[in-house]
Amino acid sequence: MVIGQMCYNQPMSIEKRLNQKQPALPPALQAAIALLLPLTVGLTVGALLGEGAASELAVLAPLFTAVGLTSWLLGLFWYGLRNLGLRGGRPLFSGIAFASLGWLALLPLRFIFVELIGFGGGFNIFMYLLLFEAFAVQLWLFGLLFRAVALWRGPLTAAISSGVIFGAVAASFFQEAYNIGLISLVYFALWGIFYGIVRLRTGSIWGIVLVQATQSFTTWTVLLPPESPSLAYVQWLYLATSFAFLIFIWRLWPKELDDYRV
């Protein structure tokens, strides 16, 4: 509550920068719709089209597609594409630079903690990660939901809340998620908050979309783990990477008005 009020009450100068078109709905209702409508549509489509599917990807691909399309249409109608964080140029490259810190922390730790049984790959897997796990999910959470919460409770609250929800979605649906209880949830939540802060500092999701797909592809597909890796070692990987994410969040935490790029 304090965080939300503190960041939202940095007054109209932030709102003027947004240069927004806003729907004629209460901000709290916008945020609720932005969170629940894409998720509901996605789960419904995934259940209908994924019935009797031969693989988990055959269920998740239509689910994420529906989430992304719903977010795209709703965000376009409410805010316009630029206000969803779809900005190139300097924001794109800044986002790549910041997000790559997390990738460069995870990569050597992946070598240390989880056994490598060979090298995999596949363009189709990379495209799945890029289009579905990265773009569709981030368009929903760091595009549509981020914008709605920023208008309601402020940009810093938007970065944190959308990041935590990203973590919950990642822990539930992403291919690299291993169920090791609280440690897993903390790892994915901090990963999401880190991306939320990058989104806040740069104003763009393109960089974190590209890095997320590349990070997941290199660490869990190119560096092929055992089919059932030791969860004890995955736990240590999650803990070590979470510590790195905390450092990056601390260093990127916005400290003045110019740091907010919603």
Backbone angles phi, psi at 118, to 5 degrees: 160, -170
Contact (CB, 8 A) for 95 and 208: yes
Residues 6+ away with beta carbon under 8 Å from 195: 99, 138, 142, 163, 166, 208, 212
Handedness of CA 110, 248, 250, 254 (dihedral sign): negative
| 168-189 tens-digit pLDDT | 999 999 989 988 889 999 999 9
Rounded Cα distance, 83 and 105, in Å: 30
Range name among 2-16, 17-31, 141-155, 186-200 with the lowest pLDDT average: 2-16
Q: How far is CA 25 from the centre of its chain?
A: 25
DSSP secondary structure letter of residue 50 = T
Q: What local confidence, expressed as pLDDT, does residue 23 receive?
A: 72
CA 143 vs. chain centroid, Å, equals 9
* Average confidence score pLDDT of the chain: 89
Provide the 10 A C-beta neighbour count for residue 182: 7
Taking 50 as the threshold, does the pLDDT of residue 167 lie above it? yes
Which of 40-44, 45-49, 56-60, 144-148 is predicted with the least confidence, judged by mean pLDDT?
A: 56-60
pTM of the full structure: 0.90
Whole-number pLDDT of residue 16: 55
Instruction: Render pLDDT for 111-154 as a digit per residue (tens, 0 to 9).
Output: 999 999 989 888 899 999 999 999 999 999 999 999 999 999 99
Q: Return the higher-pLDDT residue of 260 and 126.
A: 126
